[in-house]
Chain A
Amino acid sequence: MNTSPLVKIIYDRLHDSGYSDLSTPFRVAGVEFPFTAAMRGRDGRALDLVLLVDTTTGDFGDRDGMRVRQRVEALSRALDVTGSRYVVTVILAGAMLSESIEALSETCRVLHVEDVPLDDHGKPTDTAAARQLDDRIRVLLPLRLPAPLVETEEGSGSTMEQLLRALPASINKTLVDAVIAASNAGEQAVTEALALVINDVVQSALGKEQS
């Protein structure tokens, strides 16, 4: 493994996420494959084979898109020959021609980390930089789900139960029952229900005068 800070930080990040180092060069089907770095997942990701390519300062033809592709294609064939189920992911660290990336993508999964702001110790300068790195290789990182929300009192129950809880205590129950019952049948029914309740009140108030 070389000393490129970018390769180092990617390697560290993957290592932290449960990937283990695979010493290079490694042999598949009797063929030796040299890479700047190679890693392997575990458990659910046990079939992930991650190859790091340093397009800026790397050896083994890392700086030439064509040679990278040839090497990866050869590896794929060798894996096929041995009946392996490994899935290859190539991480390109540093700039590379987009045509080359596209061509490489036909062979395997390609992740491209062009640049990440790093400080003197080779660490991301801030959380934004760290996130920038993560975003580039996210598909290899574990998916963290936020803790499920605890259902609060006001958020529980059906929408109508929530509505009833939110209504002021002084509200006319007849009215509420009428419009909620009507709301299943659509807005027109709600309008009519309210109109009916109001009309009843008006008629009975006017009716008193006549009696």
Chain B
Amino acid sequence: MSDLILKSLDINNFRSIRGQIHAPLDANVVLIHGENGAGKTSLLSAIELALTGKIQSLERADPSYQTQLVHRSANESDVILKTQVGGVEQSFKAALSAAGVHSVATLDKRRGTFFRERAFLPQSLLGQLLQIYQDSGSEAASPLAQFVATLLGLDQLDALEAGLKPFADVRNVRKNVDGWLAAENEKSRLDRLLSDQRKARDELAEQIGNSVTELAGLCTKLGLPVTVREETLEEIAADVSNAQDSDAFARLTDKQRRLASIRREIDAAQGAIKSNAAVAPTGVIEASTAFGQWEAAYGERVSVLRSGIEALLPDVSLQSEPEQFAEAALKALSIQQKQLSDRVSQARTDIVRYGVAQNERDVALRQRDTIDFEVGRLSTSVGSLGSVLAELTSFITSEICPVCDRYFSEISQVRLVEHVHHKVRRLSASAERLLILGRTRSEAQITIERLTSEIEAIAARRVDETILAELDRRSATATALITELETVIDALYEGGRLRTTYIAAKRAVSGYQAIHVSLAAARETLNDFAISIGAPALEASESFETASARLAALLGGQAAQLEERLSMRRRATDHIATIRSALVRRKEADERITADHALWQCADRALLQAQTLRDQGNTIRSTVDRVRSAIIRREFNDRLNRIWRDLFVRLAPGEPFVPAFRIPESSTHKLQPKLITEYRDGGPAGGTPGAMLSAGNLNTAALTLFMALHLAVPRELPWLILDDPVQSMDDIHIAQFAALLRTLSKEHGRQVVIAVHDRQLFDYLKLELSPAFPDDSLLSLELSRGTRRDSICISERFSFKEEATFLAAA
């Protein structure tokens, strides 16, 4: 036999074995018997320790087990296991002391794992195998899942899977990756900012568009030969401010005055005809005298007043009759005075408001700067830092900082927990503060923009101080003239009456003579005037009234047209100013948008790269899942189920159900093999083994599962070492079990080492496993110990003996 076989074991003061024992192991079957506590388990675990350097079942129960392995009566211990392959001997040794285990030589990692998982069945592993039936939950922490993970070395894959899982949910990503949340916040902040800025910019663009449209309409109405676009604004401004309309208006006003004077002449001539139609006029001398006296008294003053008014109101034509002059002058003056005072007060308000608005904007700008400064100082992560610290407080139980392990009292009188609470309060207050600041800032921004446009509007229409002073002066002059006029108005009425009387008398005389001549001349004058303004000449039948009304209407129409044009030009100028200022602001907005967009792209790129990594994490996770599933499918295959079934049926021929593993075809989460039972003779699957099998057959299932795992993979080590595996099996099973052990030992070359505590079973196995052919061998080891003496191991070797009973018959 060229297989590696266990040769012998020397144990010195190990666990419950006191003193030194030597156990030969070089037989196909080694049967170990001892009462409970005699040291069977110690002996078998000594084999494990020597081969692998540790004892897995104890490690699971107590991580510091290595210091407790030396027998309590001794200080040192050692275990030497010898193996043999062909004729070559190999030694595995472990030295033990209170400090722990020192391994001199062990199996390589691969065979060590095989030994632990598939060659050595200590009681604890059998218990674990039983547990996987009893707790058949399918969750990741179930005993079956843990067993599978350990058996297949899936721990690392499971750690990867579980560790990467949180990244499937973006909320967990935010929690775990600080920068992620910061980038997201930055991006959404810029998003909002950009959207606000774009909205403002669009409003500006719309405003420009509207103004351009209106300006274009005005230009069309004015008949200006220009294309209205933002670029041609300068050209349009020049065209709009062209003075030809105002010149034309001045000429027209002149014509209107002339028409009015002609009409007055004609009225006078006609009036004279009516009043002096019959009687020859009298009383010329008396009237002349009275008027002469009035003129001497008031003539000078009235003439000064008149020249003053004419200087102030060059456009107004004043009659020479005193009372008409008084009325017309008073009316014109009070209109003028009102206009002037309105303009003055408007200009003054503007000047004041201009200054105030600038101050207000200044204040708002400073407020915004203050907010920006504060926002800059408050980190955007204060909120999350606050919540992290809040969680931390529950770990603060003393003055020792849980982060740096130093005494807080070294640097402060305040208690640490209060310090952290204070800090948390401050941080969460800061987070709230950020919200308030954000709100206030946008309010301030709105105020600034409103004030800026107001200031620009005022600047566009504001008059400078020189003109204001001039207006003021003119207003004062008008007021003075009105006062003066009011003081002389009674005299003027009197003068007017006297003058009228005088002129009436005089006219009565001369008019009487010259009426016809003057009327003819007046008609001639009117006719000339009509031709001069381009109107049709007077008809022979046309009366003076009709003709002069016709001409007045003509001129009035022209004047209205010109006034309309002038007003349109003013509106066009206003629009141009508006467009200019809006263009400047739009340009600024464009620049801001470009800058912020660059920042936004940066944050976006950061998130994109992070997302790529996150996706890759998910890829790794799904690959882990795939690899893990592949490993499980490879291991828990039909081959394992077939061997398991065969072994189980051997041991429990009367059981109608057999246990099996089933791999779910598709699984939404981590793939786990499931334990099921099947009808032995075929048919639909029953429930879980725990529900379907008796306690004894569950034990059988656990034992056969271990053996099936041993047999289902290539044979790394030809050993089956079983520690008291048949505690609760009934007699039938023991008979079948013995037959199975014989099959494995004698037909499959396994070296079987089995410990039992039951004397009857020991004897029975000794018979059943007796050497059956010349090379076959059986060793029995009897362990015993006493309270005061060293442990004893008595070995007995059985070799093949030709069976004589049926020699004759055979």
With A159-B156, A159-B627: A198-B653 Cβ-Cβ less than 8 Å: no
A36: interface (CB < 8 Å): no
- Contact partner, B746, options A45, A84, A162, A185, Cβ 8 Å: A45
Cα–Cα, bound, A175→B10 (Å): 50
Residues of the A chain whose Cβ atoms lie less than 8 Å from the Cβ of B154: 159
Closest to B732 in A: A105
Interface 1/0 per residue, A85-129 and B, CB below 8 Å: 111010000000000000001101111100000000000000010
Q: Given known contacts A105-B735, A206-B606, is B163 in contact with A191 (CB within 8 Å)?
A: yes
Interface status of A23 (Cβ within 8 A of chain B)? yes
- The majority secondary structure among interface residues of chain B is helix
Q: A132: nearest residue on chain B (CB-CB)?
A: B681
Query: Which residue of the partner chain, among B156, B616, B634, B745, contacts A171 with CB atoms under 8 Å?
Result: B616
B653 contacts which of A20, A139, A182, A183 (Cβ < 8 Å)? A139
Interface residues in B, total, Cβ within 8 A:
89
> Cβ of B736 and Cβ of A128 under 8 Å apart?
no
Given the interface pairs A159-B154, A206-B183, the reply to whether A175 lies near B617 with Cβ below 8 Å is yes
Given contacts A138-B646, A138-B649, A148-B713, contact A79 B805 (CB under 8 A): yes
Asked if B180 is an interface residue, CB under 8 A from chain A, the answer is yes
Question: Given that A110-B732, A128-B681 are known contacts, is A183 also in contact with B767, CB under 8 Å in the complex?
Answer: no
Provide the residues of chain A in CB contact with B152, threshold 8 Å.
Answer: 159
**Is A206 within 8 A of B186, CB to CB?**
yes
In the complex, which residues of chain B have a beta carbon less than 8 angstroms from the beta carbon of A203?
179
Interface string of A134-177 (1 = CB under 8 A from B): 01111110111110110000110011101100111001100110
**Interface pair B159/A201, CB less than 8 Å apart:** no
A66 interfacial contact with B, CB 8 Å: no
Contacts of B786 in A (CB 8 A): none
Q: Are B610 and A194 in contact (CB under 8 A)?
A: no
- The smallest C-beta distance from A17 to any residue of chain B, in angstroms, reads 11
Interface centre among A85, A89, A106 (most CB of B within 10 A): A85
Which residues, 638 to 678 on B, are CB-close (under 8 Å) to A? 639, 642-643, 646-647, 649-651, 653-654
Contact A46 B653 (CB under 8 A): no
Q: How many A-B residue pairs have CB under 8 A?
A: 243
> Are A27 and B809 closer than 8 Å at their CB atoms?
yes
Question: Complex: how many Å from CA A23 to CA B809?
Answer: 7
* Most central of A143, A167, A188 by chain B CB within 10 Å: A143
B616 to chain A, nearest CB (A): 5
- Contact partner of A40 (CB less than 8 A), chosen from B653, B738, B801, B806, is B806
Which chain B residue lies CB-closest to A79?
Answer: B805
A179 lies within 8 A of B617 (CB): yes
Show 17 A/B contacts (Cβ-Cβ < 8 Å), sorted by A: A26-B806, A46-B772, A47-B770, A106-B731, A137-B653, A138-B653, A139-B651, A139-B653, A143-B748, A159-B627, A163-B160, A179-B163, A180-B160, A182-B159, A190-B159, A195-B176, A198-B180
The 3 closest A-B pairs by CB, nearest first: A190-B163, A44-B746, A205-B606
- Other A-B pairs, 14, CB within 8 Å; known A159-B157, A183-B157, A194-B164: A22-B810, A43-B747, A46-B803, A85-B770, A128-B682, A137-B653, A138-B646, A138-B650, A159-B631, A166-B626, A187-B160, A198-B179, A206-B182, A208-B602
| Residues on A facing B (Cβ under 8 Å) | 20, 22-23, 26-28, 40, 43-47, 79, 82, 84-87, 89, 105-106, 108-112, 128, 131-132, 135-140, 142-146, 148-149, 154-155, 158-160, 162-163, 166-168, 171-172, 175-176, 179-180, 182-195, 197-199, 201-203, 205-206, 208-209
